Amino acid sequence: MARGGILALGVAAIAAAGFYVTGATPLDSDALAGLGGDPAKGKTVFIASGCASCHAAPEAKGDAKLVLSGGQKFPSDFGTFIAPNISPHPEAGIGSWTLSEFASAVTKGVSPEGQHYYPAFPYTSYQRMTDQDVVDLWAYWQTLPADATPSQPHEVGFPFNIRRSLGGWKLLYLDDDWMVASAETHELERGRYLVEALAHCGECHTPRNPLGGLDTGNWLSGAPNPTGRGTIPSLRPDALTWGPTEIAYYLETGFTPDFDSAGGHMVAVIENFAKLPASDREAVAAYLKALQ
């Protein structure tokens, strides 16, 4: 075979291999078999995960935040991502999805059509959710109001609009290992689960590399604000000198020991944490103070 033909075959083989490894892999269809959902427990997962904080309509307040019609904009270095409608509406939302499709989206970042979701959707954290929490969350989802508002397309240009490339991104950065490997007590284990999974604190409080992957070597050490205005503070003990009681109080009220108050997206985070049991806020505080 001529050299040109061999080269062409090599290029084709590399391209085929790249196409294969960047494919979207949904959750195993048997992963949730035999699990029943509890809407009451799912409500707690929903609150802790901040689903309404991103997917409610802009400026929605109170019970209106349970209408997950989307529309909020989230700027980034790669473009502006717009939260979609994820209400139970069968056409405009996700009402036609199965539990398995929902779980694949939440924990794998894979759509029912087999496409990759952008990691502006924090499945990079949600991948650590327990199967039971996912099933309970889905059960609660069925109780939420449907809304027919159409989703808006993301404002993302070339080459970041090539969804297939996210398969390579996932190979580099989608890792379900815990950032803190051991949790010696139930409280620390719960705090780790809240910080690293449900509440996805690291998605904002950890810096990112040029490709948008979390710089896990600087876990929770603060990051530039994606809006371009200011920075998101470090939560590590050398920077966050508040005591556990002060951290828990802040998560409940939004008030700092310096008589300041939370602003920006933290307002919604605190609104969620205030609805959780006091033990959850205390668990987060214990986790943060135990960071090395």
**SS3 per-residue string spanning 214-267:** ECHHHCCCCEECCCCCCEECCCCCCCCCCCHHHHHHHHHHCECCCCCECCCCHH
Of 110, 255, 248, 269, the C-alpha closest to 200 is 269
232 by DSSP, 3-state: which? strand
Distance CA 108, CA 112 (A): 11
**Treating both helix axes as pointing N-terminal to C-terminal, what angle do 266-273 and 244-253 enclose, rounded to 10 degrees?**
100
Please give the radius of gyration of the chain, using alpha carbons only, rounded to the nearest integer: 20
pLDDT in tens, 97-122: 999 999 999 999 999 999 999 999 99
With a cut of 70, list the residues of the chain below it in pLDDT: 1-22
Q: Residue 20: its pLDDT value, please?
A: 41
Q: Residue 262: its pLDDT value, please?
A: 87
Are the beta carbons of 83 and 54 closer than 8 angstroms? Answer: yes
CA-CA-CA-CA dihedral for 48, 211, 108, 141, to nearest 10: 40
Q: Residue 1: its pLDDT value, please?
A: 54
pTM attached to this predicted model: 0.91
Strand-pair partners of 208: 214
Count of alpha carbons within 13 angstroms of residue 104, beta-carbon side? 20
Q: Which residues, including other chains, have CB under 8 Å from residue 253's CB and lie 6 or more apart? A: 270, 274
Of 253, 241, 249, the C-alpha closest to 281 is 249
Residue in the block written with tokens 């719960």: 190
Domain boundaries, the chain: 28-176, 210-292
Q: Residue 240: its pLDDT value, please?
A: 94
Of 203, 188, 205, 196, the C-alpha closest to 282 is 188
Q: Residue 2: its pLDDT value, please?
A: 59
Are the beta carbons of 118 and 26 closer than 8 angstroms? Answer: no
Of 110, 113, 144, the C-alpha closest to 126 is 110
For CA atoms 32, 47, 266, 284, give the dihedral sign.
negative
Q: Which residues, including other chains, have CB under 8 Å from residue 76's CB and lie 6 or more apart? A: 120, 212, 226
Q: Residue 35: its pLDDT value, please?
A: 93
Q: Residue 263: its pLDDT value, please?
A: 87
Of 115, 58, 109, 67, the C-alpha closest to 88 is 67
Residue 192's CB is within 10 A of a number of other CB atoms, namely 22
Query: Residue 236: phi, psi to the nearest 5?
Result: -75, 150
